[in-house]
């Protein structure tokens, strides 16, 4: 990969903290190598095989189904209140048009194959790396991957302050990003406490990924800080070895080697990497600066991250308590904001159902959804109940956090 090392890497664990269950991922990759038959696609979508055969076509050298056909089928079964069939077709449309876009208004067999495996995470990550690498090699162009997911990952590491989010000065993204320093980045989310990193697979010193257009590797050693572990030293060049091939251009049979590698997954956690400590030390940051100069990247790094040791401290007791209170207050604010955000997300969906689907069902997305009031009432009632349950859980969690972080929480009451 030719990405800047301090820019961070979207990792498998960041995209899905459950992906480590893929012991049989190598077998799934083997399934992904063949084109599914019309009968298999019909079974996946629960529709007539003759309809699949009649509409299967080739665009840009790859087989697939026109989105117009799938939208018509979704509309038909939605109006008939066949929820399972409607949802299967609708999800496939999301896979083909949003998660794995390739050709406009076309769901290709790659999206269908990934849909059949039920776990799109490794392929999503592979497509993202592949497209970024290709555009970097060619010096520009359009990134073809799931951009909403890439955007969500990107902003998750940006400052969480209200001033940065509101951007009242209407500054360009380039200006806002260039002003950030090491201390401004939201490096680590506590949801990854206790997880193990997929550190390498099989013969590879890092993690190989198969996307829809080829294969590439990512280097988890550069993502350790995002998973709570320190970046101490200059990475070993062997661990940063680049692996890349395009579909149809694979003289080294990297695809087959990658498939086999996923049968032998090597993980690392606290036992191998030591205590959690989300920092970058001088040897690593010096390497970053040299890499930035090598690739002619403007890189100003005026502040070094100090070493933070867990253990005895020479600070006065009062200073230690102040630091502890500050840490607790940050944890309190972060956890409370995360809970509130979950409720806000639910509100957005409920508002969508109330206004976009029920009151104004004329936009592109809702035009293919079933318009039965009973159908949407069930969806609305379910979401409303989920929101009520979340609010109750939120209140319980706030009480738990108050108890856990007292007396800090008392001092924070005025902030909310």
Q: Classify residue 304: in a domain, yes or no.
A: no
Same domain, 106 and 148: no
Q: Classify residue 312: in a domain, yes or no.
A: no
> Among residues 185, 152, 216, 387, which one has the least CA distance to residue 301?
185
Structure tokens at 351: 């508002």
> Among residues 239, 211, 243, 221, which one has the least CA distance to residue 130?
211
Owner of token pair 């018509």: 72
Residues 41 and 127: beta-carbon distance below 8 Å: no
Same domain, 283 and 385: no
Alpha helices by DSSP H, listed for 56-172, are 67-79, 83-94, 109-117, 121-138, 147-156, 162-166
Residues 83 and 375: beta-carbon distance below 8 Å: yes
Same domain, 353 and 230: no
Same domain, 133 and 275: yes
Same domain, 285 and 350: no
Same domain, 327 and 287: no
Same domain, 43 and 163: no
Q: What is the pLDDT of residue 298?
A: 65
Same domain, 232 and 107: no
Question: What DSSP character marks residue 244?
Answer: E
Q: What is the pLDDT of residue 291?
A: 84
Structural domain containing residue 286:
5-22+123-294
Q: Classify residue 301: in a domain, yes or no.
A: no
Same domain, 332 and 345: yes
Q: What is the pLDDT of residue 124?
A: 86
| Helices (H) then strands (E): counts for the chain | 17, 8
Burial 147-163 (b: 16+ CB within 10 A, else e): eebbeebeeebbeeeee
- pLDDT in 10s for each residue of the chain, 416 residues: 333 334 455 654 444 433 333 434 444 454 455 678 889 899 989 889 999 999 999 998 889 999 999 999 999 988 888 888 898 899 899 988 988 888 889 999 988 988 887 678 888 888 889 999 999 888 888 888 888 888 888 888 888 788 888 888 888 888 888 888 877 888 888 777 777 888 899 999 989 998 888 899 988 888 888 888 888 888 877 667 788 998 889 888 998 999 899 889 999 888 888 888 888 888 888 888 888 888 777 655 444 344 343 333 344 444 445 555 555 666 666 666 666 666 666 665 566 555 544 544 444 444 444 555 556 566 667 777 777 777 777 777 777 766 765 554 444 444 44
Structure tokens at 47: 């529709």
Alpha helices by DSSP H, listed for 60-120, are 67-79, 83-94, 109-117
Q: Classify residue 307: in a domain, yes or no.
A: no
Q: Classify residue 100: in a domain, yes or no.
A: yes
Same domain, 190 and 285: yes
Rg over alpha carbons for the chain, rounded to the nearest Å, is 24
> Among residues 236, 169, 246, which one has the least CA distance to residue 211?
246
Residues 346 and 390: beta-carbon distance below 8 Å: yes
Preceding omega of 407 cis (within 30 degrees of 0): yes
Q: Classify residue 306: in a domain, yes or no.
A: no
Residues 390 and 345: beta-carbon distance below 8 Å: no
Structure tokens at 181: 């320093």
Structure tokens at 205: 């010193």
Structure tokens at 199: 């550190």
Q: Which of 237, 261, 294 is the last residue before a domain boundary?
A: 294
Same domain, 156 and 258: yes
| CA–CA gap between residue 122 and residue 126 (Å, rounded) | 6
Question: What DSSP character marks residue 112?
Answer: H
| CA–CA gap between residue 295 and residue 349 (Å, rounded) | 44
> Among residues 325, 390, 395, 341, which one has the least CA distance to residue 160?
341
> Among residues 354, 378, 355, 357, which one has the least CA distance to residue 367?
357
Q: Classify residue 350: in a domain, yes or no.
A: yes
Contacts of 237 (CB under 8 A, 6+ apart): none
Task: Determine the 3-state secondary structure of 223 from DSSP.
Answer: coil
CA 71 vs. chain centroid, Å, equals 27
> Among residues 242, 187, 197, which one has the least CA distance to residue 220?
197
Virtual CA dihedral for 401, 406, 410, 416, nearest 10 degrees? -20
The count of other CB atoms within 10 Å of the CB of residue 121 is 18
Q: What is the pLDDT of residue 304?
A: 39
Task: Determine the 3-state secondary structure of 58 from DSSP.
Answer: strand
Q: What is the pLDDT of residue 19?
A: 39
- How many domains is the chain partitioned into structurally? 3
Q: Which of 75, 91, 118 is the last residue before a domain boundary?
A: 118
Q: Which of 87, 118, 149 is the last residue before a domain boundary?
A: 118
Question: What DSSP character marks residue 295?
Answer: T
> Among residues 346, 335, 330, 358, which one has the least CA distance to residue 384?
346
Same domain, 88 and 141: no
> Among residues 151, 148, 190, 187, which one has the least CA distance to residue 17?
190
Contacts of 145 (CB under 8 A, 6+ apart): 101, 124, 127, 128, 130, 131, 132
| CA–CA gap between residue 49 and residue 115 (Å, rounded) | 18
**Stated pTM of the model:** 0.60
> Among residues 381, 368, 357, 378, which one has the least CA distance to residue 77?
368
Q: Classify residue 391: in a domain, yes or no.
A: yes
């Amino acid at each position: 990969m030719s990405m800047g090392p301090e820019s961070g890497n979207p990792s498998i664990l960041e995209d899905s903290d459950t992906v480590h269950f893929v012991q049989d991922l190598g077998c799934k990759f083997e399934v992904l190598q063949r084109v599914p038959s019309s009968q298999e696609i019909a079974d996946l979508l629960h529709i007539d095989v003759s309809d699949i055969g009649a509409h299967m076509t080739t665009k840009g050298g790859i087989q697939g189904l026109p989105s117009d056909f799938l939208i018509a089928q979704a509309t038909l079964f939605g109006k008939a209140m066949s929820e399972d069939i409607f949802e299967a077709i609708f999800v496939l449309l999301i896979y083909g048009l949003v998660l794995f876009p390739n050709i406009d208004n076309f769901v290709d067999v790659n999206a269908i194959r990934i849909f059949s495996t039920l776990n799109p995470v490794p392929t999503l990550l592979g497509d993202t790396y592949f497209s970024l690498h290709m555009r970097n090699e060619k010096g520009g162009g359009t990134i073809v991957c799931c951009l909403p997911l890439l955007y969500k990952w990107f902003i998750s590491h940006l400052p969480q302050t209200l001033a940065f989010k509101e951007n009242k000065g209407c500054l360009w993204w380039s200006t806002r990003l260039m002003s950030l320093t090491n201390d401004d980045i939201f490096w680590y989310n506590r949801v990854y406490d206790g997880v193990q990193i997929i550190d390498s697979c099989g013969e590879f010193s890092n993690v190989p990924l198969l996307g829809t257009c080829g294969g590439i590797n990512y280097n988890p050693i550069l993502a350790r800080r995002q998973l709570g572990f320190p970046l101490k030293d200059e990475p070993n060049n062997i661990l940063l070895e680049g692996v890349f091939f395009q579909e149809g251009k694979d003289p080294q049979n990297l695809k087959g080697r990658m498939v086999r590698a996923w049968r032998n997954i090597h993980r690392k956690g606290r036992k191998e990497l030591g205590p959690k400590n989300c920092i970058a030390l001088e040897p690593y940051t010096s390497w970053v600066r040299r890499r930035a100069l090598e690739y002619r990247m403007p890189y100003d790094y005026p502040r070094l991250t100090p070493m933070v040791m867990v253990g005895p401290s020479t600070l006065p007791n009062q200073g230690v308590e102040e630091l502890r209170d500050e840490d607790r207050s940050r944890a309190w604010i972060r956890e409370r904001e995360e809970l509130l955000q979950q409720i806000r997300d639910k509100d957005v969906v409920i508002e969508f159902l109330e206004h976009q689907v029920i009151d104004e069902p004329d936009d592109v997305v809702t035009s293919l959804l079933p318009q039965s009031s009973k159908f949407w009432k069930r969806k609305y009632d379910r979401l409303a109940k989920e929101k009520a349950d979340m609010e109750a859980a939120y209140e319980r969690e706030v009480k738990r956090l108050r108890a856990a972080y007292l007396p800090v929480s008392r001092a924070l009451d005025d902030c909310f």
